[in-house]
Amino acid sequence: MPYVYIGKRNFYYGKRLWEIVGNLKNFGEGRLLVRSKFERYPEVSYVKIIRAEPLMDEENLFGRVLVEQVFRGKPYGEYDLSQTAYKNDFKLVPKDEEEFYLSRTMKAEELEKLKKPLPEFIQFPPLLKEMISKQENNPNPLLKAVYKFGPNNSSVFIQPGAVCNKTQIENSKAPHLYENLRP
């Protein structure tokens, strides 16, 4: 008779965080853990335990864990992993493989090289530009760009006084708006 699965399928592979950390000296401070969820990326993703404080409940599910997070090779700083510690998705990195993970983490100099500048101003589409220039008596009106910054797009910076050029417009999501734009 075949097995019939009922309910939602579990996509996690590994152990709970507290199952691993509870068996290590000083609750694994300084050791590296990998989530199986992030093994699909070619870059390394891991967490390094800074401090762990278990609650010592019966099932070993809860506690506070402070880690340094590295996602896809980029360090994201300190992070509280307490919200996901109950998931059975963690694997301990053996000590002989730790150097492999640490060597593939980007340094601060490499992150600075990856930063790309964004213009502070964007030109209006041609028809809107003509309407605004007639209303405000300004021959070259510019739109101040507003960018949403977060942890995932920290590799950009705003260039003060820069105006969006033609190559940036051609690579935009709606280049047809700028077809008749004169330089």
112-124 confidence digits (pLDDT tens):
777 777 888 888 8
Report residue 66: phi and psi, to 5°: -105, 125
Of 70, 44, 72, 55, the C-alpha closest to 17 is 55
Of 10, 3, 65, the C-alpha closest to 37 is 10
Report the chain's terminal Cα–Cα distance, integer Å: 73
Decide: residue 125, CB within 10 A, 0-12 exposed, 13-18 middle, 19+ buried. middle
pLDDT at 68: 92
* Alpha helix ranges (H) inside 32-170: 98-103, 108-114, 126-136, 166-170
**Is 32:48 a contact under the CB 8 Å cutoff?**
yes
Taking the chain (183 residues) in runs of 10, the rounded mean pLDDT of each run is 85 86 88 90 91 82 88 87 86 92 85 78 84 88 80 70 68 69 56
pLDDT at 143: 84
